[in-house]
């Protein structure tokens, strides 16, 4: 056997492996959620606009809804705000905001300043509901079906591109 054969084979294997790690659309920071196709973790939380009233996951059963995790301290939330607003303006689904580890006063000011795309936002002051939903970085966006199952999770700011290519197809399928 040619004495270059083995090193060349090793090189090709290594290059292939490293190339696989660099493939397009792969981001090692994105941790796939084990909650896909599982029942959405239940919560019952006070609404930001009316803290005396609570919204629970049971109230939303039977309809397709989107949960967007946001906070006034989150810079990327500002970046995706325009896209979330575009989604809300289509009036396709109920858009619920999960105000994650935020000061309610700051959150309300944020909504006044940039506009409120949410049907309602609920307060997750200590982040426990966030943990139940496997949230590890704000913003995150979940699509939940009428059967209460989580159908899709988007990690990081939603762009116009990811809205059209990832989220809309899931919504269209769920809405029939």
The DSSP code sequence of 70-123 is E-TT-HHHHHHHHHHHHHHHTT-SEEEEEEES--HHHHHHHHHHH----SEEEE
**CB-nearer residue toward other proteins: 28 or 176:** 28
Q: Does 131 bind other proteins (CB under 8 A)?
A: yes
Site mask, other proteins, residues 48-87, x = CB under 8 A? ----------------------------------------
Q: Does 134 bind other proteins (CB under 8 A)?
A: yes
What span, in angstroms and rounded, lies between the C-alpha atoms of 170 and 39?
17
For the CB of residue 129, give the shortest distance to other proteins in the complex, in Å: 11
Other CB atoms closer than 10 Å to residue 79's CB: what's the count? 14
Place of tokens 């905001």: 97
Binding segment (CB under 8 A) for other proteins, from list 109-117, 126-134, 142-150, 162-170: 126-134
**CB-nearer residue toward other proteins: 33 or 63:** 33
Q: Hey, what are 116's tokens?
A: 């409120």
What span, in angstroms and rounded, lies between the C-alpha atoms of 98 and 128?
11
Q: Does 136 bind other proteins (CB under 8 A)?
A: yes
Residues that bind other proteins (CB under 8 A): 28-29, 31-35, 101, 126-128, 131-134, 136-137
């Amino acid at each position: 056997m040619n004495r270059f054969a083995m090193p060349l084979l090793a090189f090709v294997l290594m290059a292939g492996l490293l190339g696989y790690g660099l493939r397009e659309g792969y981001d090692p920071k994105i941790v796939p959620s084990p909650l896909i196709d599982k029942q959405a973790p239940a919560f019952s939380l006070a609404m930001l606009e009316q803290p005396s009233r609570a919204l629970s996951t049971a109230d939303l059963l039977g309809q397709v809804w989107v949960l967007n995790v946001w906070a006034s301290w989150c810079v990327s939330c500002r970046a995706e705000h325009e896209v979330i607003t575009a989604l809300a303006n289509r009036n396709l689904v109920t858009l619920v905001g999960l105000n994650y580890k935020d000061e309610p006063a700051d959150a309300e000011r944020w909504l006044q300043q940039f506009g409120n795309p949410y049907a309602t936002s609920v307060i997750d002051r200590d982040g426990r509901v966030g943990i139940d939903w496997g949230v590890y970085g704000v913003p995150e966006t979940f699509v939940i079906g009428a059967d209460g199952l989580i159908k899709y999770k988007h990690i990081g700011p939603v762009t116009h591109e990811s809205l059209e290519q990832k989220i809309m197809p899931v919504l269209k399928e769920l809405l029939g």
